[in-house]
Chain A
Amino acid sequence: MNKNLTNSLAMAFLWIAAGTTVAVLFAVIAYVVVNGIMVITPEFIFTWPEGVNAEGGVWPTIVSTLYVTGLAMLIVTPIAILAAVYLAEYAVQGRLVNIIRFAADSLASVPSIVMGLFGLALFVETMGIGFSMLSAALALSFLMLPIVMRTTEEAIRSVPKYIRWGAYGLGASKWQTVSRSVLPAATPRIVTGIILATGRAVGETAVVIYTMGQAINLPLTPFDSGRPMTVHLYLLAMDGINLPAAYGTALLLMIMILAFNLGARYFLRRNRKV
């Protein structure tokens, strides 16, 4: 009796907790969708904002966001993979390696606004790159680096021993074994890590607001400034300039991030099945 009661209570709480989570998620999505869906038209996506109230579209901000994210990905991927290969395969496991891992994990939890401030000080001012795609991409890469490095390290470690034996058994050197059999075997999970980190970068506001500038601009070279979608959204909403456009931008952002996450899942699944 008593036992049954406890059981039912526990079940009830679990249901409430799970229900709340799902409800909150749906509320947020529904709110943004309801307010944003009418705004999103081909014109909204492909034209420029005009006038003081930013009527019109958001095209340059989409380009800025994709530009900076792509650039950050290009910077992060080789560094993160080399670092992970070193940590997983070459470094003598012990204190130093644990310190590096701890540093990476700490780096991942630094508030992004601090990273933005740091990017402003280092890249924009000290190095004189100015507000630009490059400054923002470098600052973003600090945010992405630990995520990609750690997922890559895990991916490398989870490659089965016998894959390595196969390569060694054919007369492969250590580097050949790592580069030609271990890394290909780890690729699906590495790519997933990169995609997830990229999704995170797409939604990042604090870092880019300090490093990319705010001018609405279609970036061509890495030294051009611009305004990413998140900052556009922030400015539109904060100053109450154009709320419908803010919701439209928000919805577009959510769709992009969702696409990244689905892409990661799809990629992982396809490669699992073979």
Chain B
Amino acid sequence: MAEHDIQTSPFSSPEGADKILVKDLDFYYGDFQALTDINVSIKQGAVTAFIGPSGCGKSTFLRCFNRMNDLILGTKADGLVTLDGQDIYAPGVDPVDLRRRIGMIFQQPNPFPMSIYDNVAFGPRLHGVKSKAKLDEIVESSLEKANLWKEVKDILDRNGLALSGGQQQRLCIARVLAVRPEVLLMDEPCSAIDPTSVQKIEDLMAEIKDEVTIIIVTHNMQQAARVSDYTAFFLQEVAGEPAELVEYDRTANLFTSPSDKRTEDYITGRFG
């Protein structure tokens, strides 16, 4: 497998190694180009937020990291995306293995129609863990990390769909954490759930980010400001034209002194 050495990251920072690097990425749905010329470096052990008006390609970009877009017919990613320096689009990279290293949470909580226990054990079983004791341990620690253990420890055999929406979302987080991913992609994970669960999810993000590099898409700017260390602002200026990455910086800088006029307009609520 070809290793690409990229030293010229425009946003290299001293305290975080680059976990993911994106260089000159264009993305297409058939003839429609959704993203153009994206360059970004995602820092290990940090939370990175993607913000921007809806339809500007945040989800599309997120799905480039675990090659979920491969499941959509006629899509094409042009450019370089590396995980720990390794090109994830290189021939010979199996997207199935990649997705084990890069977990994903969706806007709509999507527990499987099976017990809470089986939901969390799904991934480990998939990857060959058979021992009951080991599975018990993984289930408990994953639910712990997802801030859900206390609520469900006595009802592990109940169907995951019987939980509230916010609990379902935390169950999905536990399910992903159970395969011990290196990166966690979260696509608007809090837009369909209750405030208590939102709080719990924001708390757990802070707790796990040392182990799991997190990228979160949100259109709640207060949330981006609260939870993230870095923020990227995307914008599609003209309908039908591809979206671009307008500004990427430490969250504190981007929200207090944006360097691009369009970023300022967006965060002060002038459009979007």
Contact = CB atoms under 8 A, between A and B. Distances in A.
Interface centre among A163, A167, A169, A180 (most CB of B within 10 A): A169
A185 B118 CA distance: 13
Chain A: interface size category: 10 to 19
Given A171-B127, A180-B122, A180-B126, A274 B162 contact: yes
B192 to A, nearest CB: 12
Interface string B138-175: 00000000000000000000010110000000001001
Given A169-B66, A176-B126, A185 B113 contact: yes
A172 interface: yes
Interface in A134-171: 160, 162-163, 165-171
A184 interface: yes
B106 interface: yes
Contact of B175 (A165, A170, A173, A271): A170
What secondary structure prevails in chain B residues at the interface with A?
helix
Contact of B159 (A163, A168, A180, A274): A274
A169 B68 contact: yes
A101 B66 CA distance: 35
Contacts of B99: 168-171
Interface string B104-139: 101010111110000000110011000000000000
Contact of A185 (B71, B101, B108, B112): B112
Interface in A103-146: none
A267 to B, nearest CB: 14
B189 interface: no
Contacts of B176: 169-170
Contacts of B108: 162
A172 B71 CA distance: 13
B123 A168 contact: no
A261 B185 CA distance: 45
A170 B126 contact: yes
A242 interface: no
Contact of A165 (B68, B113, B127, B162): B68
Contact of B96 (A163, A171, A184): A171
A163 B112 contact: yes
B31 interface: no
Contact of B100 (A170, A180, A274): A170
A165 B106 contact: yes
Contacts of A184: 112-114
A181 B175 CA distance: 13
B20 interface: no
B57 interface: no
Contacts of A169: 66, 68, 99, 103-104, 106, 176
Contacts of B162: 274
Nearest to A162: B110
Contacts of A167: 112, 122
A159 to B, nearest CB: 9
Nearest to A172: B126
B197 to A, nearest CB: 18
Given A274-B159, A274-B161, A274-B162, A170 B179 contact: yes
B130 to A, nearest CB: 15
A172 B100 CA distance: 8
Contacts of B5: none
Nearest to B124: A170
A114 B71 CA distance: 44
A274 B66 contact: no
A37 B101 CA distance: 66
Given A180-B122, A274-B161, A168 B112 contact: no
B97 interface: yes
Contacts of B179: 170-171
Given A162-B110, A163-B110, A171 B97 contact: yes
B110 A165 contact: yes
B159 A171 contact: no
Contacts of A180: 122, 126
B126 to A, nearest CB: 6
A255 to B, nearest CB: 32
A172 B96 contact: yes
A169 B98 CA distance: 9
Interface string A170-197: 1111001000110011000000000000
Top-4 shortest CB links A-B: A171-B100, A169-B104, A162-B110, A170-B123
Given A162-B108, A185-B113, 4 more contacts: A165-B104, A166-B110, A176-B126, A274-B161
23 contacts: A160-B110, A162-B106, A162-B108, A163-B112, A165-B110, A166-B106, A166-B110, A166-B112, A166-B172, A167-B122, A169-B66, A169-B106, A171-B97, A171-B101, A171-B127, A171-B179, A172-B96, A176-B126, A180-B126, A181-B112, A181-B122, A184-B112, A185-B113
